[in-house]
Structure 1
Amino acid sequence: MSSISDKIKEKPWLGWVLFLGTMGIVFVLGLFASEVTERRAEATVAYAPNREIDQFDPRNSVWGKAYPREYESWKATEDTTFKSKHMSSAREDMLEKNPNLVILWAGYGFSKEYNTPRGHYYAITDLQEIQRTGAPTGPNDGPMPSTCWTCKSPDVPRLMNEKGVAEFYKGKWASKGSEVVNPIGCGDCHDSKTMDLRISRPALIEGMKAMGKDINKATNQEMRSLVCAQCHVEYYFDGSDKSKGKYLTFPWKEGQTVEDMERYYDNLEFKDWTHKISRAPMLKAQHPGYEIYKMGIHGQRGVSCADCHMPYTSEGGVKFTDHQINSPLAKIDKSCQVCHREDAEELKSNVYANQDRVDDLKMRVEPLIVKAHYEAGKAWELGATEAEMKPILKLIRHAQWRWDYAVASHGASAHAPVEMTRVLGSSLDKAQEARMLLARLLATKGFIGEVEIPDISTKEKAQRAIGLDPDKMRETKDRFLKTLVPEWIKKAEERHSKLQPRVEGGDQIPHFEHDTEKI
Structure 2
Amino acid sequence: MKKFKVLLAVSLLAIGCLTALIASINEKKEEQKIINSVPQVERWQTKNEEFKKFYPRQYDSWKKTKESDDIDDMLKEYPELVVLWAGYGFAKDYNAPRGHFYAIEDNRNTLRTGAPVDGKTGPMPTACWTCKSPDVPRIMNEQGDLEYFTGKWAKYGSDIINPIGCVDCHNPKTMELQVNRKYLDDGLKAAGLTPLADATHQEMRTMVCAQCHVEYYFKKTDNGKGGKAAVVTLPWAEGTTVDDMERYYDNIDFKDWTHKISKTPMLKTQHPGYEMYLTGAHGKNNVSCADCHMPYKREGGVKYTDHNIGNPLENMENTCMTCHRVSEKSLLATIAEKKKRKTELHKKSMVQIAAAHLEAGKAWEVGATEAEMAPVLKDIRHAQWRWDYAVASHPAFFHAPEETLRVLGTALEKAGNARIKLAKILAKYGAADYVAPSIDSKEKAQEIIGLPFDKLVEDKKKFKNGLLIEWKKEAEKKGVYNPESTKGVEDKTSYN
TM superposition score normalised by structure 1 = 0.87
Q: What are the superposed Cα offsets for residues 276-319 of structure 1, whole Å, 9 maximum, x if unpaired?
A: 11000000000000000111101101100000000111123211
Give, in angstroms, the shift of residue 138 of structure 1: 1.0
Residue-by-residue CA offset, 1:404-449 (whole Å, 9 max, x unaligned): 0000111111110100000011111111111111111222222223
- Superposed displacement of residue 40, structure 1: 5.6
| Aligned counterpart, 2:356 | 372
Conserved 8 A contact 2:101-2:164: yes
8 Å contact from structure 2 (residues 387, 407) kept in 1? yes
**Which residue of the partner structure matches residue 73 of structure 2?**
93
Structure 2 match to 1:26 = none
The answer to whether the Cα contact below 8 Å between 2:346 and 2:408 also exists between their aligned partners in 1 is yes
Pairing 1:57–2:57 present: no
Are 2:108 and 1:128 equivalent residues in the alignment?
Answer: yes
SS in 1 for 2:52: helix
Q: Is the 8 A contact 1:481 1:514 kept in 2?
A: no
Distance 1:511 1:266 in 2: 47
C-alpha distance 440-516 of structure 1, shift in aligned 2 (>3 A): closer
Shift of 1:69: 1.0
Once the two structures are TM-superposed, the CA of residue 379 in structure 1 deviates from its matched residue by 1.1
Answer whether contact 1:273 1:281 (CA < 8 A) is retained: yes
Q: Distance in 1 between matches of 2:280 and 2:494?
A: 40
Mean Cα displacement is larger for which, 60-69 or 426-435? 60-69
Which shows bigger deviation, 273-282 or 383-392?
Answer: 383-392
1:52-72 alpha-carbon deviations (Å, 9 max, x no partner): 211111111112221111011
Amino acid at match of 2:214: V
Question: Which of 150, 153, 156 pairs up with 1:176?
Answer: 156
1:431 maps to what in 2? 415
Q: Deviations over 1:160-183 (max 9, x none)?
A: 111111100111001101100000
Per-residue CA distance 1:468-514 (angstroms, 9 max, x = gap): 112111111111111111111111111118x9xxxxx8662567453
Distance 1:38 1:326 in 2: 31
CA 1:434–1:106 in structure 2 vs 1: closer, same or farther (change >3 Å)?
same
Specify the code of the residue in structure 1 equivalent to 2:314. Answer: A
One-letter amino acid matched to 1:46:
I
> 2:206, 2:275 → 1: CA distance?
11
Query: Could you tell me which residue of structure 1 aligns to residue 313 of structure 2?
Result: 329
Partner of 2:369 in structure 1?
Answer: 385
Shift of 1:385: 1.1
1:296 and 2:296 correspond: no
Residue 346 of structure 1: aligned partner = 330
Cα distance in structure 1, aligned partners of 2:30 and 2:248: 52
- Contact 1:146–1:174 (8 Å) recurs in 2: yes
Deviation at 1:46, TM superposition (A): 2.3
| Within-5 A mapping of 1:254-293 | 254-293=238-277
Q: By how many angstroms is 1:98 displaced?
A: 0.9
Letter in 1 for 2:160: V
- Residues 221-264 of structure 1: CA distance to partner in whole angstroms, max 9, x if unpaired? 11000000000000000115364510110000100000000000
Q: Secondary structure at the match of 2:261?
A: coil
How far apart, in 2, do the equivalents of 1:62 and 1:507 lie?
12
C-alpha deviations, 1:382-422, integer Å up to 9, x for none? Answer: 11111111111001000000000000111111110100000
Q: Are 1:191 and 1:198, in contact at CA under 8 Å, matched by a contact in 2?
A: yes
- 1:362-511 correspondence to structure 2 within 5 Å: 362-449=346-433, 451-496=434-479, 508-509=485-486
User: Contact (CA 8 Å) 2:101, 2:163: kept in 1 or not?
Assistant: yes
Q: Aligned partner of 2:66: which letter?
A: E
Mapped contact 1:171–1:245 kept (Cα < 8 A): yes
Aligned twin of 1:19: none
Q: CA–CA distance in 1 between the matches of 2:492 and 2:24?
A: 53
Q: CA RMSD in A?
A: 2.1
| Cα distance in 2 for residues equivalent to 1:220 and 1:406 | 29
CA–CA distance in 2 between the matches of 1:156 and 1:47? 27
C-alpha separation between the residues in 2 aligned to 1:460 and 1:437? 30
2:28–2:300 Cα contact (<8 Å) kept: no
Residue 518 (structure 1) aligns with: 495
CA distance in 2, matches of 1:479, 1:455: 34
1:477 and 1:483 map into 2 onto residues whose CA distance is 10
Distance 2:320 2:71 in 1: 25
- Between stretches 59-68 and 395-404, larger displacement belongs to 59-68
Corresponding letter in the other structure for 1:61: E
Shift of the 304–348 alpha-carbon distance from structure 1 to 2, 3 Å rule, reads same
Equivalent position of 1:223 in the other structure:
204
Letter in 1 for 2:407: V
Q: Classify the secondary structure of the residue corresponding to 1:454.
A: coil
- Alignment partner, residue 232 of structure 1: 213
What is aligned with 2:6? none
Residue in 2 that maps onto 1:68:
56
- Residue 88 of structure 2 is matched in structure 1 by 108
- Higher CA-based Rg: 1
Question: 2:47, 2:272 → 1: CA distance?
Answer: 28
Q: Which of 46, 54, 71 matches 2:35?
A: 46
TM-score w.r.t. the length of structure 2 is 0.91
Residues of 1 paired with 2:31 and 2:357: CA distance? 62
- Asked if the contact 1:182–1:509 (Cα under 8 Å) also holds between the matched residues in 2, the reply is no
Q: Note the residue ranges of structure 2 that are not aligned, 5 or more in a row.
A: 1-21
2:137 to 147, 154, 157: 157
The DSSP-based 3-state class of the residue aligned with 1:228 is helix
- Kept in 2, the 8 Å contact 1:120–1:184? The answer is yes
Between the aligned partners of 2:485 and 2:290, the Cα distance in structure 1 is 25
Q: Percent identity, aligned pairs only?
A: 52
Q: CA deviation at 1:515?
A: 4.4
**Aligned with 1:508: secondary structure?**
helix
* CA distance, structure 2, for counterparts of residue 516 and residue 258 of structure 1: 32
